């Protein structure tokens, strides 16, 4: 359209000059002063027209550049995130995130969840993101207690009765101070952006090949255990603990390498068929009340992304998180029904044994408080929150 206007203007100028040339001889001779004035006016008009032509040429050039930019293929970000487990509600968070982002980004981000261990060991997922080996991961927060001490307390929710209290205490209470500290620690230690997190009911159970009716039965048993907040108290009661990846647990239980395991919720454990290689599951107390998976993106990748895609990923993490919380609650209830139908025998500890377990967890947490200022601040906020809620 602008090129057409340009050619039209140029044509008008040329026509004006031709007519002027044709008309001048047909008129009576003009005085030299009149001719000079007319020539000057025509020259001014020509100069103004030439400026318009130059401006239009610049506009045409700009339009051509814009069209070329629009025709250039958009950069596509391809991610293959996973978490510590390849089935159940927590892995479903990543599946939902993928569907949401792939559709909403119109293909500018393509997320395809991978299986744990396919890219890197599950306890090195944050390092893999930071190094650029992979763009994004959702590692188990409790796996990083040895590197970021407060993660063991944060991801375990020590002192919080359920995951709803976790959200209130860590994301809202004191202006979400605890979550801010943790995200800063991830970003400080690794080259990552902590975009958000998936949390929900973990309600960790204990599955075993022998009955464990009280804390007294723990002595001498061999456990597969991956969470320090559980391993610490188990050791306190005389059990031995070893961590192996989730994918290896079924075989280890079937071949009697372990007497028992703690890993995930009833839904996680049922999804991995652990009910097939154990006989007893602890229904109460819950050994750990929640799961917490930070969603980490490589910092260089994150900084390279346009702002609209960054906001899309943030919104998608929140959406997947909320969906996962409700989905986890339902899956846990359904799993308990399923394992009972299968033949699993449920055990329940007394109030006295339950209190022994809670006390052992607080004792374990104290070892972190004494060594790490962030852990001390976290537990102080937990205590303040418990008072605020009337728990103490």
pLDDT in tens, 368-391: 999 999 999 999 999 999 999 998
The pLDDT mean for the chain works out to 88
pLDDT grade for 18, boundaries at 50, 70 and 90:
very low
131 has a pLDDT exceeding 70? yes
Among 49-63, 69-83, 208-222, name the most confident range.
Answer: 208-222
pLDDT grade for 73, boundaries at 50, 70 and 90:
low
313 has a pLDDT exceeding 70? yes
Average pLDDT over residues 317-324: 94
27 has a pLDDT exceeding 60? no
Q: In the 3-class helix/strand/coil scheme, how is the chain assigned residue by residue?
A: CHHHHHHHHHHHHHHHHHHHHHHHHHCCCCCHHHHHHHHHHHHHHHHHHHHHHHHHHHHHHHHHHHHHHHHCCCCCEEECCCCCCCCCHHHHHHHHHHHHHHHHCCCCEEECCCCCCCCCCHHHHHHHHHHCCCCEECCCHHHHCCCCCHHHHHHHCCCCCCHHHHHHHHHHHHHHHHHHHHHHHHHHHCCEEEEEEEEEECCCCEEECCCCCCHHHHCCCEEEECCHHHHHHHHHCCCEEECCCHHHHHHHHHCCCCCEEECCCHHHHHHCCHHHCCCEEEEECCCCCEEEEEEEEEHHHHHHCCHHHHHHHHHHHHHHHHHHHHHHHHHHHHHHHHHHHHCCEEEECCHHHHHHHHHHHHHHHHHHHHHCHHHHHHHHHHHHHHHHHCCC
15 has a pLDDT exceeding 50? no
pLDDT (tens digit per residue) in 155-203: 888 888 888 999 999 999 999 999 999 999 999 999 999 999 999 898 8
244 has a pLDDT exceeding 60? yes
pLDDT grade for 32, boundaries at 50, 70 and 90:
low
């Amino acid at each position: 359209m602008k090129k057409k206007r340009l050619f039209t203007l140029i044509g008008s100028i040329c026509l004006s000059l031709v007519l002027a040339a044709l008309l001048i001889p047909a008129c009576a001779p003009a005085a030299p002063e009149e001719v000079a004035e007319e020539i000057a006016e025509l020259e001014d008009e020509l100069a103004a027209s030439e400026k318009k032509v130059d401006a239009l040429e610049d506009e045409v050039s700009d339009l051509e550049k814009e069209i070329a930019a629009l025709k250039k293929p958009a950069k596509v970000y391809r991610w293959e995130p996973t978490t510590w487990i390849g089935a159940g509600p927590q892995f479903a968070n990543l599946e939902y995130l993928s569907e949401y982002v792939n559709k909403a980004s119109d293909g500018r981000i393509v997320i395809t969840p991978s299986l744990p261990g396919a890219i890197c060991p599950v306890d090195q997922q944050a390092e893999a993101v930071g190094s650029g080996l992979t763009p994004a991961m959702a590692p188990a927060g409790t796996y990083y207690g040895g590197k970021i001490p407060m993660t063991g307390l944060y991801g375990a929710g020590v002192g919080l009765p359920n995951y709803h209290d976790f959200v209130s205490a860590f994301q809202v209470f004191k202006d979400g101070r605890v979550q801010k500290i943790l995200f800063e620690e991830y970003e400080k230690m690794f080259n990552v952006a902590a975009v958000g997190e998936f949390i929900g009911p973990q309600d960790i159970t204990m599955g075993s090949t022998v009955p464990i009716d009280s804390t007294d039965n723990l002595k001498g048993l061999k456990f597969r255990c991956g969470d320090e907040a559980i391993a610490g108290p188990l050791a306190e009661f005389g059990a031995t603990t070893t961590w192996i990846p989730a994918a290896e647990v079924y075989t280890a239980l079937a071949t009697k390498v372990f007497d028992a395991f703690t890993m995930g919720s009833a839904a996680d454990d049922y999804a991995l068929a652990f009910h097939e290689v154990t006989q007893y599951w602890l229904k109460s107390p819950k050994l750990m009340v929640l799961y917490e998976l930070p969603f980490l993106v490589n910092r260089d990748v994150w900084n390279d992304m346009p702002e609209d895609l960054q906001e899309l990923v943030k919104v998608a993490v929140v959406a997947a998180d909320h969906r996962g919380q409700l989905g986890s609650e339902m899956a846990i209830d359904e799993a308990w029904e399923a394992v009972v139908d299968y033949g699993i025998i449920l055990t329940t500890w007394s109030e006295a044994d339950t209190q022994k377990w809670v006390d052992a967890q607080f004792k374990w947490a104290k070892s972190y408080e004494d060594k790490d200022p962030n852990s001390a601040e976290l537990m102080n906020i937990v205590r303040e929150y418990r008072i605020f809620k009337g728990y103490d």
